[in-house]
Structure 1
């Protein structure tokens, strides 16, 4: 039997079929992007979601005044909703990216009966809307996303036809009416002029009836190229504009900045006003004017300063906000809790700042992101979810040795873990990374948490780093290695690598590898005192090391003999096999003089020589150094087969069959071109071997081996395909 030069086959189609378990429906945050309060106090919410509190509701729902779900109101648009507006007589305009709503074809824009949710006969012809404003006389203004008519259109309220209007070609992102005949449009623009590209936002005012531009009124702001424009509100005598630049206040009369306004520098994504002189703002921030405010604040509409004593907090970004006449505040966003009580994506604060008991979790299918194998065959799964099927599991769960959900193990993490590590005694370590800071002074921060073997979060154990933690590994003595992009961790100065005391969570003061820069992305403890680290560094304690080094786990001393020549390499993944070899994957420069662009196999002892005759053949053989191809993860099953995750191709030029997961022969590096259970590349995949030898994959895939698997699947280990050097299969006799 001949073996293919480009790869190897022989495992059979059954090897691609996932194991029966795990087969979980992970449920996470849906997204609400628009809210509309009705005259009776009901609230319409639109966005991108599949259910509310487990009740199917696709992208649009109505909550009654007591915030219970209106079970009879269900237009069910087939894609996301971006904008809502009130029509005279109680109707509702809905804009977005859908093609059908209420079982009728209405590409991106429709009018509904506000009480019944039925779609009426109004049929616009602009192909969707991302912002809508409706004047008192019923005139409809919209910013379409599929139209040759221009960026602002005026539509007939009778039949939806586009009306002649002077502003038909003005660029806009947000619209607002002032109730006195003027339409305000906010548009983001980018000046790509080299060498200082900038962001610019322009707010214009036009006569709503004619579209005539008010040439005496304009408001502008500029900022760095990565700035965003996120909110527009006209209230009283002011025009408010929010974004990553903060919150600006302009005079409605002149367009000039209002004197005495203390502009918050926090990233503001939503603005709402009450009748008592307050502004409610939401976004991604930890403080306002130096006062702790987590993603939500109430400000003085006169000064811009936060209201003392009004301190509700969310654990994630806040988007749309709606305030009623009694001071009750509805908020939506990317949070999972408000004031430490579960409220997924939607919540209501009463006028006295207490949290309403009404709970309407906005849900969508979620995916697993990271895995950690336990000694007993169990697997820890991390991601951004709050349910697994009918069971509440917040951001982390455990599967037993058979892949079945362990409901008794339920620690509940406050945010998604990006990195996990399992100790021999059952302890789990989790790193939760997040963005913090105001406006452009953004900091990537990380916090370590510890979970005991029974699934209880240790509230007294925590370590913080000033930037991301990207990898964790438990040392043979029970200590914890942490690698990442940080420069301080636990209050100590450490460049990208630290060893942490497992009991106290404090980095060991005497253990410092003295990396020169950059990041550590892979750590693997070896036999005895050895620990291997990979990343983007170029030297360790003054010794040149091109992204890969071998250290003493006890002293952090670099192994002077083990020094593979791979300067310029970025090592993202490391795996050790049972025969004393080390696999290193990433984006690699030549290794010891040989080209191994994505993956190499080295001796773990000696000087780190290449294993003779071992060459991974991604893309069918030698590939160019493409920046977008890389290996990000490695795992070895119980039969010695190697699994690589990342982004790469399996077939030769023109480099087709791109995928995120591949299986390679551990003996020679040949890729199995027929083993592709996840199909074409859909996003990052995390791969991990259980101690039973099965291979687990987590990521953004929907199917595995042709079977439904929502981002989490396991595969049985397979027998290795043994090849002679002459490429003939080894005989069985």
Structure 2
């Protein structure tokens, strides 16, 4: 079972920051990325993720396992599991599982075969790493193809009465739009149809196909040819649901069925079409029923682009009780697929981020009273992390949920649990955290309200309440960074010409009462600010001083005037800065030279001259930080094989950069912080680190390898858990990280266990 992953992650983050993670000598521990936080549903750090289908599946057929829900769509993570486009969710345990490595693409349809196999269709090029053209079969151990597959997207799968498989979608091969697989080859249904998107069987066992094509968008196969079903509809059909009485209900985008009024939904009783009550309507031009599911006792739930039925306000989800349409749930999500769970609950999937007014990523469960998210974790990026002097960890970003509940864009880890800071922030969230000289927490971001206080861009949390910091009118420009002076004044940088009526070119100082310019300011945009040990301010970004192109990228304020630093950089692109324990300044970004010193994307200023770090970083450096030991850690971005950007994290060991994470893909690392006990914490917009699920935040720690459940002790629980994962050939049991789970892993774990670490 895998439900332990989330709790293991929680325990990992909750460990005392100054203690080792296991009860063994530090020399015996091994550095590794800890099991990360999961995701409240399914999704990814990339754009466009959504759930396309939900199907009930019994993985072992007549065996003892209970039924699970197959989730198909476009995503990379499901709960606490890396899952590419395909996963299961167990309603009884709440656990997510990946299926055979998933697919490279999108799953639009899934079908549970009588023997327990699973057939999936969609728009993908491989399944489990093996070539597969849009359709594949999983037998519990391996993927197999169905002939040569299809030439395009598979939208629907249906088991025919004789056991053959019917497939429809947007393809011309093996046949146009619809085809039959008999277990060994493909066969046509006459001349085919133009891309039907949904399939069903009528009460007589005849095949029905619907979509958007001539002849009414719905057709019946009579064994020899396709024929119209009562004239069909005057638009498109998106879904069909058979009822126990033999009728078929169709939903889509139409207002007539069989020439009679029928708004978005209609019933075919075998001889004629009829409307269900007043149908469903939309006040906008975009009206459509995209998903339906039959409930017991002849009831129906529909979801789509509609908002009323007659005078009744419904939508985007409505229930048909046999007489009229009513609203289904409060703040229900617009869904592309629905499924009925064994206990009668309704599961909804789609491209949504909330249900019932609470965060829910692409999946939500209706329990008869309210909507619930599936799983826990951060639901959005972590843009910055602050280790406060009192020991708590603060995080800010675009998230509205944490592993321990709702928190609007900012939260703190205290006593092992994430807690909201009052009502948090509105807008799109926070991007920078600072500890003020008095111990308060300052947040900079894209917001106008903190808690219940009007606070534009800057706000302070004193441990109990929010307060505004300084006036920044919306039309003054953008503030991108902030730092404190030794006297407690706040300095901000960005892209502006004035702040609250005070002329200040891209950098300004707040003394607690009013804004002040810092000399003549700097040219162009400031990305970051840092306070040097002597109190000087260094600004980095797309900047120059007094229009001098030879002094670009960096500028230093000594309290009286701005000056360049060692001749500046050849490119005005400094994205991040940090200080080493000895006071040296490290800058990262996109450049090839610092002063006269060749330096690729990273360089160190010792107060007198520039120094390169060996060959530098092969991609633009996006984040910098230091460990408790003083070692430098950086993150840079590179193009991955899938043409998306991935991040790589490295540590400088004194002579070269050593890889810590080579595959943070997709997404970016925005924050790097070293914890007092030596651990490393990163935050950003990512869903996995080196193949291990870790949504938006990840922690690297030195752990005892035999402490398999990460509870700080080596005991029988660790042995039992390892054996369970080993028997299941789970990647967690790949003890030597060679990509295989075999006897070598068992022997190495046993040796570590016997040694006590």
Does the C-alpha gap of structure 1 residues 300 and 574 become closer, same or farther in structure 2, counting only changes over 3 Å?
farther
Residue in 1 that maps onto 2:219: 207
TM (norm. structure 2) is: 0.58
Return the alpha-carbon distance in structure 2 between the equivalents of residues 429 and 21 of structure 1. Answer: 24
Match among 458, 462, 479 for residue 497 of structure 1: 458
Structure 1 residue 97: Cα displacement: 6.0
Return the alpha-carbon distance in structure 2 between the equivalents of residues 249 and 596 of structure 1. Answer: 66
CA contact (8 A) 1:88 1:136 kept: no
Q: Is 1:37–2:59 an aligned residue pair?
A: no
String of CA shifts for 1:411-433, please: whole Å, max 9, x gaps: xxx86643333433334443353
Return the alpha-carbon distance in structure 2 between the equivalents of residues 426 and 69 of structure 1. Answer: 32
Return the alpha-carbon distance in structure 2 between the equivalents of residues 596 and 249 of structure 1. Answer: 66
What SS class does the counterpart of residue 156 from structure 2 fall into? strand
Structure 1 residue 313: Cα displacement: 9.2
1:230-269 equivalence runs, <5 A: 236-240=248-252, 249-251=264-266, 259=278, 261=280, 263=282
CA contact (8 A) 2:429 2:445 kept: yes
String of CA shifts for 1:467-523, please: whole Å, max 9, x gaps: 43222322212333332222333334333233x2504322148x4355644432211
What SS class does the counterpart of residue 26 from structure 1 fall into? coil
Q: Is 1:328–2:345 an aligned residue pair?
A: yes
Residue in 1 that maps onto 2:576: 633
TM (norm. structure 1) is: 0.60
Structure 1 residue 322: Cα displacement: 1.4
Return the alpha-carbon distance in structure 1 between the equivalents of residues 216 and 534 of structure 2. Answer: 70
Structure 1 residue 531: Cα displacement: 1.5
Residue in 1 that maps onto 2:158: 134
Does the C-alpha gap of structure 1 residues 160 and 419 become closer, same or farther in structure 2, counting only changes over 3 Å?
farther
Does the C-alpha gap of structure 1 residues 44 and 160 become closer, same or farther in structure 2, counting only changes over 3 Å?
farther
Q: Is 1:449–2:411 an aligned residue pair?
A: yes
Return the alpha-carbon distance in structure 1 between the equivalents of residues 338 and 327 of structure 2. Answer: 17
String of CA shifts for 1:157-193, please: whole Å, max 9, x gaps: 45454747766765x8x54547465433379xxxxxx
Structure 1 residue 82: Cα displacement: 0.7
Residue in 1 that maps onto 2:466: 506
CA contact (8 A) 1:515 1:540 kept: no
Residue in 1 that maps onto 2:612: 672
Residue in 2 that maps onto 1:572: 527
String of CA shifts for 1:273-331, please: whole Å, max 9, x gaps: 42442427599xxxxx99999xx977457766434xx56999xx987541047523345
String of CA shifts for 1:620-652, please: whole Å, max 9, x gaps: xx7xxxxxxx54432222245544455x35489
Residue in 1 that maps onto 2:519: 562
CA contact (8 A) 1:272 1:321 kept: yes
Structure 1 residue 525: Cα displacement: 0.8
Return the alpha-carbon distance in structure 2 between the equivalents of residues 575 and 164 of structure 1. Answer: 70
Return the alpha-carbon distance in structure 2 between the equivalents of residues 45 and 508 of structure 1. Answer: 48
CA contact (8 A) 2:382 2:399 kept: no
Structure 1 residue 239: Cα displacement: 0.6
Does the C-alpha gap of structure 1 residues 610 and 592 become closer, same or farther in structure 2, counting only changes over 3 Å?
same
What SS class does the counterpart of residue 701 from structure 1 fall into? strand
1:150-229 equivalence runs, <5 A: 152=177, 154-157=179-182, 159-161=184-186, 163=188, 174-177=197-200, 179=202, 181-185=207-211, 205-207=217-219, 209=221, 217-219=233-235
Structure 1 residue 524: Cα displacement: 0.8
Structure 1 residue 129: Cα displacement: 3.7
Residue in 1 that maps onto 2:169: 143
Q: Is 1:689–2:626 an aligned residue pair?
A: yes
Does the C-alpha gap of structure 1 residues 426 and 85 become closer, same or farther in structure 2, counting only changes over 3 Å?
closer
Q: Is 1:617–2:629 an aligned residue pair?
A: no
Which consecutive unaligned segments of at least 5 residues does structure 1 have?
1-18, 188-201, 222-230, 243-247, 284-288, 362-385, 387-393, 396-413, 437-444, 623-629, 717-733
Which consecutive unaligned segments of at least 5 residues does structure 2 have?
1-28, 44-50, 243-247, 255-262, 306-310, 402-406, 637-645, 651-656, 676-757
| Greater helix fraction, Structure 1 or Structure 2 | 2
Q: Is the deviation greater in 531-540 or in 685-694?
A: 685-694
CA contact (8 A) 2:211 2:236 kept: no
CA contact (8 A) 1:87 1:134 kept: no
Return the alpha-carbon distance in structure 2 between the equivalents of residues 430 and 269 of structure 1. Answer: 38
Structure 1 residue 533: Cα displacement: 1.0
CA contact (8 A) 2:199 2:207 kept: no
Q: Is 1:531–2:458 an aligned residue pair?
A: no
Give the number of equivalent residue pairs: 566
CA contact (8 A) 1:615 1:668 kept: no
Does the C-alpha gap of structure 1 residues 256 and 345 become closer, same or farther in structure 2, counting only changes over 3 Å?
closer
Return the alpha-carbon distance in structure 1 between the equivalents of residues 338 and 276 of structure 2. Answer: 24
Structure 1 residue 205: Cα displacement: 1.4
CA contact (8 A) 2:83 2:102 kept: no
CA contact (8 A) 1:49 1:57 kept: yes
Return the alpha-carbon distance in structure 1 between the equivalents of residues 129 and 564 of structure 2. Answer: 62
Return the alpha-carbon distance in structure 2 between the equivalents of residues 639 and 501 of structure 1. Answer: 31
CA contact (8 A) 1:448 1:462 kept: no
Residue in 2 that maps onto 1:484: 445
Return the alpha-carbon distance in structure 1 between the equivalents of residues 592 and 275 of structure 2. Answer: 59
Structure 1 residue 559: Cα displacement: 1.9
Structure 1 residue 117: Cα displacement: 6.4
Match among 274, 283, 286 for residue 295 of structure 2: 274
CA contact (8 A) 2:408 2:426 kept: yes
Return the alpha-carbon distance in structure 2 between the equivalents of residues 96 and 157 of structure 1. Answer: 19
Does the C-alpha gap of structure 1 residues 686 and 462 become closer, same or farther in structure 2, counting only changes over 3 Å?
farther
Return the alpha-carbon distance in structure 2 between the equivalents of residues 549 and 184 of structure 1. Answer: 63
Residue in 2 that maps onto 1:4: none
Q: Is 1:594–2:548 an aligned residue pair?
A: yes
1:641-652 equivalence runs, <5 A: 641-644=584-587, 648=590, 650=592
1:64-83 equivalence runs, <5 A: 75-77=100-102, 79=104, 82-83=107-108
CA contact (8 A) 2:570 2:593 kept: no
Q: Is the deviation greater in 699-708 or in 542-551?
A: 699-708
Structure 1 residue 593: Cα displacement: 0.9
CA contact (8 A) 2:57 2:69 kept: yes
Does the C-alpha gap of structure 1 residues 183 and 258 become closer, same or farther in structure 2, counting only changes over 3 Å?
farther
Return the alpha-carbon distance in structure 1 between the equivalents of residues 659 and 430 of structure 2. Answer: 34
Residue in 1 that maps onto 2:540: 585
Residue in 2 that maps onto 1:123: 147
